Structure 1
Amino acid sequence: MTTVLAAIERANEQLFGDALACEEVHPAVFLPGPVEATRLRAHLLQAEALLRALAVVEDSPRNEESDPHIDAAFRRLEAKVDLLTALVAGFAAGQSTDPLRRLRWSARGVRMSHDAAFAPGTPGLFRVQAAEWLPSPLVLPATVLAAEAGVEPGSQSLWLRFEGLGPVLEAALERHLFRVHRRAVAESRRAG
């Protein structure tokens, strides 16, 4: 038991020690198994593109008054894209099969509950719907650092370390989590 606790402490330090971490609830799953190099490269490129697109959408001004130089044609186009995105997200929302899970994550990794048991060292993919309005999942390679028996029989709390993200993807993930953190702080200030 003490070795499990020591592994959990090490995992917490590695994943969250001096990194910005957020707690959220999203559809997410860990898919165990080795990932071939070509597929891994494709997942990393898709993750980078997804996070870049999220940054463009979430960082763009929502209020038309915020930038008076934007012409009316651009605003109409932006509104049409927003509508199309909402429609596609609505259609795809019914297709999400991953269960909602409480996550604590940073750009280094994630702690999550899971309904299956995995041994430390198990490689695989972490899949999460990173934004409620966006049906495309973020898929990142990960390895189980530590595991602890959960409350439900056969469930575990998993600590997953992201693998091979590279500096650009890691920075994009850090920026995404910073925006999530900033929104959470703003919402708590409005509520309090």
Structure 2
Amino acid sequence: MNAPASPSAAETELFADTLSCDLAVPAEFEAGVQVRRPGNAEMLLRSVALVEDSRGADDGEERFEGSAQLQRLEARLDLALVLLGRLLQQSTAPLPTCNLKWSRLGLRLASPHGSGAAPGSAGVIRLQPADWLPDHIELPVQLVAEQQTDGIHHLWLRLHPTSDALTAAVERHLFRLHRRQIAGIRRVR
């Protein structure tokens, strides 16, 4: 267990000299638990990458123009995912939408609730990796620091990936998110 860090030290440890993204996504931290579905996060992140690569990115790149039949099949699959997502949302409590900063080293989560855990505690961050995906991933983390400001709890969480493959999938996902953010900023200009 690492020693507790100050919020500024945690910010430096997790985000200095590394690519990071600022997002608002459904997410939550739960202390004292382990990943319930090992291997699922890697599989979901790889699947998200495959789907988004096949469709073309939302950042102004050329969209893949397949046959009309393939486009109809994709539309049907999209509708099936939406329906499945609605069914899943009815059977499980939704994750609260939170602002977070995410790098390959960790996350800073702005949550309406405190963690109730001491710095150094292990736990899981659950988050929805894509807005069109009605599921979440679970990543093992360690609470580095926590601070409450204006009723918002800021949690600094160090990632503890269970495999090199998961690390690579997270890095690829972050690169795609970062590229999309940059493209969004350029469109506004």
| TM-score, with structure 1 as normaliser | 0.81
Q: 2:156 aligns with which of 147, 155, 159?
A: 159
Match of 2:144 in 1: 145
Deviation at 1:66, TM superposition (A): 5.4
The residue that corresponds to 2:55 in the other structure is: 61
Q: Are 2:127 and 1:128 equivalent residues in the alignment? A: yes
Seq. identity, %? 38
Structure 1 window deviating more from structure 2 (92-101 vs 156-165): it is 92-101
Distance 1:179 1:81, change over 3 A: same
Check if 1:52 corresponds to 2:49: no
Aligned to 2:170: 173
The 5-angstrom pairing of residues 10-29 of structure 1 reads 10-29=9-28
Q: Is the 8 A contact 1:33 1:122 kept in 2?
A: yes
In structure 1, C-alpha distance between the alignment counterparts of 2:161 and 2:31, rounded to whole Å? 16
Instruction: Give the unaligned 5+ runs of structure 2.
Output: none
Residue pair 1:47, 1:139 contacting (<8 A) in 2 also:
yes
Rounded to whole Å, the distance in 1 between the matches of 2:22 and 2:177 is 9
Secondary structure, aligned partner of 1:60: helix
For the structure 1 residues 44 and 15, does the alpha-carbon distance in structure 2 shift closer, same or farther, using more than 3 Å as the test?
A: farther
Give the conservation status (yes or no) of the 8 Å contact 1:43–1:140.
no
Distance 2:167 2:11 in 1: 18
Q: Is the 8 A contact 2:54 2:64 kept in 1?
A: no
Classify 1:179/1:164 alpha carbon distance in 2 versus 1 (closer, same or farther; 3 Å): closer
Instruction: Give how far 1:67 is off.
Output: 5.3
Residue-pair matches, total: 180
Contact 1:20 1:174 in 2 (8 A): no
Distance 1:9 1:62, change over 3 A: closer
Rg bigger for which structure?
Answer: 1
Q: Deviations over 1:25-76 (max 9, x none)?
A: 11111111143xxxx4x6340000000110011111359x9556x5554443
**1:170 and 1:143 mapped to 2: Cα distance?**
16
**Uncovered stretches (5+) of structure 1, i.e. residues with no partner:** none
Asked if 1 retains the 8 angstrom alpha-carbon contact of 2:127 and 2:136, the reply is yes
> How far has the Cα of 1:189 moved from its partner?
1.4
Q: Name the CA shift for 1:182/1:93 in 2 (closer, same or farther; >3 Å).
A: farther
CA contact (8 A) 1:44 1:140 kept: no
The Cα of 1:130 is off from its aligned counterpart by 1.4
- CA change 1:136–1:66 in 2 (3 A) is closer
